[in-house]
């Protein structure tokens, strides 16, 4: 067979972004899929030391899971870990083998189907250990790479293999047995360590995560081996126009052995004892009996393995990067590092949270915009990149979604809704009053999507989107807000009945929607137990950027303050007047907006949707009931608790609220349009209509992309951007805020 190996010496524009097979493609098409996200036991004293299975996460439509298990006698050679980003990996430290518990029948079956277009093998690895160079050969005069993954009956009968040579760690081999190629190792696809994409790596190849993807099309015979460089850019490192072709499409994989297993870290070895044979090939003479040393173990960390019975095309392998400039060719030598090209690179990094090569064609397009003094348009090119949503906007939203105000927080309905609003260019004013939320589209994301169990009563839907690395830009869809309507089938709704078998849950459209303020995550963070003052306080923090101490007004009226606040704390009336009243006149004036809702038993309860009880001992966390006060039907009981502290205090009896933060400096700093209202939606509108809201959003975006808090010297810039953001032309478009702020010189320079 005449295989023409083509060394790619120029970089195609469609290949130079942070390309990758999307999670959507992987979920839909991978016949087997392992992400190694679960910790394994690593010492002989641990239960399950030799019994731990690694789950195959591929879609059930391809057949029963092909779970992996290790079959080596020395488990100290195998471990599990997590990198700093939280990605799990299988760690192969020495001679061992991890293989499928059963024959890899489903791969054989799927790849031999008439609908199969070929084969794709995807791995993500890291080499972090040196290993003695190996020179053994079989067949004659064919250097043997170490096996990252293979499908074989034994080490001479192999259906496909993907391996690596340790002469610098930057050469990879891939091959597949076809109808016309009895042995894939006689002429495999091998990358060159002189390739321009990986030139000069040397031993540095041992210290970074790298994607390796092998694909062969059984119809055209075209095969490609893709690699990533040190910066994570994915390239076709070697291609052939005759990828192990021969025979017809129908019988392409007929030579595959049906008794093959799927193996990681070695070829299949019938008896585990052979792993004790010499580890080096140096004592193994060419053409000697192959049984002398079948041990071709690979050492390193494996983060992902996915196998497809399809020849994925460039658009699927390179994902969003393929869409940038499909037909333009950029030789590396022609890229001049101009100031605006460097500025474009920094804008790209700030907006996506990732680095990119200076020869990324998107940067060239951005440079042209910057040369025309149109920085917003330059940034706009990047704000359509998936990483802008999956990393930057998500972190921006996550920080507002939880009480600790940290970005290191699971994806949830609050954050997903902000991501969707930014993507869809929806006015941010609607965030606090709109009748919608965002969730994964079941047609695009294979995750648990039951309205009650996975969205309203748990966060499992969003956690699954996270776990499967779905592209949030691609899979999120807007939906109408929902509430749980709960009732007991025994008609005993006021007795605290907790028997789940007698409870009916129904997901109904929320009659009282208030955007983010009525998401499950907001309720879980701020409406648990307590007096709902925290919900008002954090609304000010997150959307007005104003802690309650900054809004405190000691001259405010006290007639709105609840009965649980002592008017003479510690015998000091002045302490109440100067301290307690200052905050409570604000909080207690607004908190009735949240009067009808609470969070318990895993979901947000509205008093009109669940049975209510005045029983002081009712266990809300184990019941469908909501506790209300006997003097205030429909109002969360805790809002009127400790009523004997000051019997003359305010009893909250409805959701009418009053704005006591509308005098003095508050009037100037916040700029309210409403002084009173009813319910959460009107409260949300009061916040969103204020002058402080657009300024706060500008400050939050500034922190997100400039990586520091806005300072006094930035005040005029923030004010100007907030005015633009809230103008009729921009209509509170958060995406515009990112585009406008990121290119500011004080942001890029950090000065």
In the predicted structure, residue 735 carries a pLDDT above the cut 80: yes
pLDDT reported for residue 158? 87
Angle, nearest 10°, between helix axes 413-423 and 460-467? 60
* Domain enclosing residue 333, as ranges: 326-372
Confidence of residue 42 (pLDDT cuts 50, 70, 90): low
Across 239-248, 381-390, 446-455, least confident range: 239-248
Domain of 110, CATH number, reads 2.60.120.200
Q: Would 107 be classed as within a structural domain?
A: yes
Instruction: Out of 43-52, 409-418, 625-634, 700-709, pick the least confident.
Output: 43-52
- Left (φ > 0), alpha (ψ -120 to 50) or beta: where does 425 sit? left
Lowest mean pLDDT among 126-130, 461-465, 505-509, 704-708: 126-130
Among 45-49, 164-168, 238-242, top mean pLDDT goes to: 238-242
Clarify whether residues 297 and 353 are in a common domain. Answer: no
Share of the chain above pLDDT 90, in %: 53
Same-domain pairing of 227 and 362: no
**Tokens at residue 318, please?**
């390179």
What average pLDDT does range 595-618 have in this prediction? Answer: 92
Residue, of 302 and 76, whose pLDDT is higher: 302
Cβ atoms within 10 Å of 250's Cβ, excluding its own: 11
- Has residue 66 got a pLDDT over 90? yes
The confidence score (pLDDT) of residue 199 equals: 33
- The first and second tokens of residue 549, run together, are 């101490």
Would you say residue 627 lies in a domain?
no
Task: Return all residues near 332 (Cβ < 8 A) that are at least 6 apart.
Answer: 10, 11, 196, 359
Is residue 608 domain-resident?
A: no
Q: Are residues 70 and 133 in the same domain?
A: yes
In this predicted structure, what is the pLDDT of residue 373?
Answer: 95
For the cut 90, the answer to whether the pLDDT of residue 475 exceeds it is: yes
Note whether residue 679 is domain-resident.
no
Alpha carbons within 13 A on the beta-carbon side of 70: 27
The pLDDT score that the predictor gives to residue 138 is 44
Tell me: pLDDT of 316 over 70.
yes
- Indicate the range of 9-23, 243-257, 352-366, 639-653 predicted with least confidence: 9-23
| pLDDT band of 621, cuts 50, 70, 90 | confident
Tokens of 220: 């055209």
How far apart are alpha carbons 724 and 731 in whole angstroms? 9
Pair (297, 242) in one structural domain: yes
308 and 355: one domain?
no
pLDDT band for position 43 (cuts 50, 70, 90): low
Q: Is the pLDDT of residue 293 over 90?
A: no
**Mean pLDDT within 536-553:** 96
Average pLDDT over residues 684-697: 98
Q: Which among 253, 286, 317 is the end of a domain? A: 317
Give the range among 21-30, 83-92, 365-374, 717-726 with minimum mean pLDDT. 83-92
Tell me what the pLDDT averaged over the chain comes to.
82
pLDDT computed for residue 202 by the predictor: 36
Q: Where are the alpha helices (DSSP H) in 468-569?
A: 472-475, 520-526, 533-543, 548-551
How many C-alpha atoms does 591 have within 13 Å on its Cβ side?
A: 29
Do 266 and 338 lie in one domain? The reply is no
Query: Residue 276: pLDDT above 70?
Result: no
Show which of 338, 356, 372 is a domain's final residue. Answer: 372
Based on the fold, state whether residues 226 and 361 are members of the same structural domain: no
Cα separation, 287 vs 402, in Å, equals 65
Contact between 702 and 714 under an 8 Å Cβ cutoff? The reply is: yes
* Residue 314 pLDDT level (bands cut at 50, 70, 90): confident
- Within this chain, do residues 311 and 334 fall inside the same structural domain, yes or no? no
State the total domains in the chain. Answer: 3
Whether residue 564 is contained in a domain is answered as: no
Q: Is 505 helix (H, G, I), strand (E, B) or coil?
A: strand
Residue 397 has pLDDT above 90, yes or no: yes
On whether both 159 and 232 belong to a single domain, the answer is: yes
Q: Per-residue pLDDT for 119 more than 70?
A: yes
Residue 410's SS3 state is: coil
Same domain, residue pair 221 and 346: no
Q: What number of residues does the chain have?
A: 751
- Of all residues in the chain, the percent with pLDDT exceeding 70 is 79
16 or 208, higher pLDDT: 208
CB 518 within 8 Å of CB 680: yes
Q: Is the pLDDT of residue 86 over 70?
A: yes
pLDDT at 507 over 80: yes
Q: Do the domain assignments include residue 40? A: yes
Whether 380 is covered by a domain: the verdict is no
Q: Is residue 277 one of the residues assigned to a domain?
A: yes
Encode 267-280: b = buried (16+ Cβ within 10 Å), e = exposed. bbbeeeebbeeebe
Q: What is the pLDDT of residue 5?
A: 32
- Indicate whether 6 pLDDT > 50: no
pLDDT(17) > 70: no
Residue 248 and residue 361 in one domain: no
Q: Are 38 and 25 in contact (CB under 8 A)?
A: no
Largest CA distance in the chain: 99
Same domain, 302 and 214: yes
pLDDT (average), residues 114-140: 70
Strands 209-217 and 118-126 come out as antiparallel
What per-residue confidence (pLDDT) applies to 389? 95
Tell me, what's the pLDDT at 130? Answer: 53
Residue that has been written with the tokens 């406008």 in this structure: 740
Residue 591, pLDDT > 90, answer yes
DSSP per-residue codes, 247-286? S-STTTTTTS-TT-EEEESS---SSGGGGGS-S-STT--T
- Whether 704 and 742 have beta carbons less than 8 Å apart is answered as no
Which pLDDT belongs to residue 283?
39
Section 633-660 average pLDDT: 93
Nearest to 603 by CA among 495, 718, 454, 391: 454
């Amino acid at each position: 067979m005449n295989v023409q190996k083509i060394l790619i010496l120029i970089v195609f524009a469609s290949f130079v972004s942070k390309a990758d097979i999307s999670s959507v493609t992987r979920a839909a098409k991978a016949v087997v899929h392992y992400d190694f996200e679960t910790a394994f036991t690593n010492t002989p004293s641990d239960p399950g030391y030799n019994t731990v299975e690694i789950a195959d996460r591929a879609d059930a439509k391809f057949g029963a899971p092909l779970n992996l298990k290790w079959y080596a006698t020395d488990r100290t050679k195998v471990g599990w870990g997590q990198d700093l980003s939280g990605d799990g990996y299988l760690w192969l430290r020495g001679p061992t083998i991890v293989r499928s518990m059963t024959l890899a029948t489903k791969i054989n079956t799927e790849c031999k189907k008439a609908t199969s277009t070929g084969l794709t093998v995807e791995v993500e690895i890291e080499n972090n250990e040196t290993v003695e160079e190996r020179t053994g050969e079989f067949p004659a005069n064919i250097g043997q790479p170490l096996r990252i993954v293979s499908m074989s009956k034994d080490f001479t009968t192999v259906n496909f293999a993907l391996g690596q040579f340790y002469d610098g760690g930057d050469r990879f081999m891939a091959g597949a047995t076809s109808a016309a190629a009895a042995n894939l190792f006689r002429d495999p696809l091998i990358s060159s360590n002189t390739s321009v994409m990986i030139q000069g790596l040397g031993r540095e190849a041992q210290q970074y995560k790298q994607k390796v993807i092998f694909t062969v099309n059984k119809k055209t015979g075209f095969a490609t081996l893709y690699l990533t460089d040190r910066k994570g850019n994915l390239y076709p490192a070697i291609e052939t126009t005759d990828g192990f072709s021969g025979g017809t499409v129908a019988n392409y994989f007929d030579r595959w052995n049906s008794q093959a297993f799927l193996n990681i870290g070695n070829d299949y070895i019938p008896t585990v004892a052979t792993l004790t044979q010499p580890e080096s090939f140096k004592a193994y003479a060419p053409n000697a009996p192959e049984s002398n040393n079948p041990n071709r173990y690979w050492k390193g960390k494996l983060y992902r393995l996915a196998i497809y019975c399809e020849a994925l095309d460039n658009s699927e392998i390179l994902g969003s990067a393929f869409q940038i400039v499909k037909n333009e060719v950029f030789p590396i030598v022609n890229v001049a590092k101009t100031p605006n090209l460097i500025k474009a690179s920094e804008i790209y990094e700030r907006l996506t949270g990732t680095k990119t090569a200076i020869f990324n064609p998107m940067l060239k397009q951005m440079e042209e915009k910057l040369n025309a003094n149109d920085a917003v348009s330059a940034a706009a090119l990047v704000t359509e990149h998936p990483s802008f949503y999956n990393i930057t906007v998500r972190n921006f939203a996550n920080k507002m979604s939880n009480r600790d105000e940290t970005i290191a927080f699971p994806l949830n309905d609050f954050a997903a809704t902000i991501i969707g609003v930014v993507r869809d260019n929806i006015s941010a004013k609607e965030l606090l009053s709109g009748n919608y939320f965002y969730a994964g589209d079941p047609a695009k994301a294979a995750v648990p999507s039951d309205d009650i169990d996975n969205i309203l009563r748990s966060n499992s839907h969003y956690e699954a989107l996270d776990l499967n690395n779905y592209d949030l830009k691609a899979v999120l869809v807007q939906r109408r807000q929902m509430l749980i309507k709960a009732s007991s089938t025994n008609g005993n709704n006021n007795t605290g009945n907790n028997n789940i078998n007698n409870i009916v849950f129904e997901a109904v459209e929320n009659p009282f929607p208030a955007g983010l303020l009525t998401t499950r995550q907001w309720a879980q963070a701020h409406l648990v137990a307590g007096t709902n003052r925290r919900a008002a306080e954090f609304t000010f923090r997150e959307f007005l950027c104003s802690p309650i101490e900054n809004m405190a007004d000691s001259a405010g009226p006290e007639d709105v303050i609840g009965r649980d606040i002592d008017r003479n704390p510690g015998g000091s009336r002045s302490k109440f007047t100067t301290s307690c009243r200052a905050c409570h006149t604000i909080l207690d004036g607004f908190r009735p907006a949240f009067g009808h809702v609470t969070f318990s038993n895993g979901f947000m309860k509205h008093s009109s949707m669940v049975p209510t009880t005045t029983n002081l001992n009712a266990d809300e966390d184990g019941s469908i009931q909501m506790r209300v006060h006997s003097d205030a039907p429909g109002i969360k009981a805790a809002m009127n608790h400790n009523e004997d502290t000051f019997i003359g205090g305010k009893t909250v009896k409805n959701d009418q609220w009053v704005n006591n933060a509308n005098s003095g400096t508050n009037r100037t700093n916040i700029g309210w349009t409403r002084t009173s209202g009813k319910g959460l939606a009107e409260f949300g509108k009061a916040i969103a209509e204020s002058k402080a809201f657009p300024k706060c959003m500008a400050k939050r975006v500034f922190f997100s992309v400039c990586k520091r808090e806005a300072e006094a010297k930035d005040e005029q810039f923030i004010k100007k951007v907030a005015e633009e953001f809230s103008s009729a032309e921009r209509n509170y478009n958060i995406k515009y805020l990112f585009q406008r702020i990121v290119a500011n010189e004080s942001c890029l320079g950090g000065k």
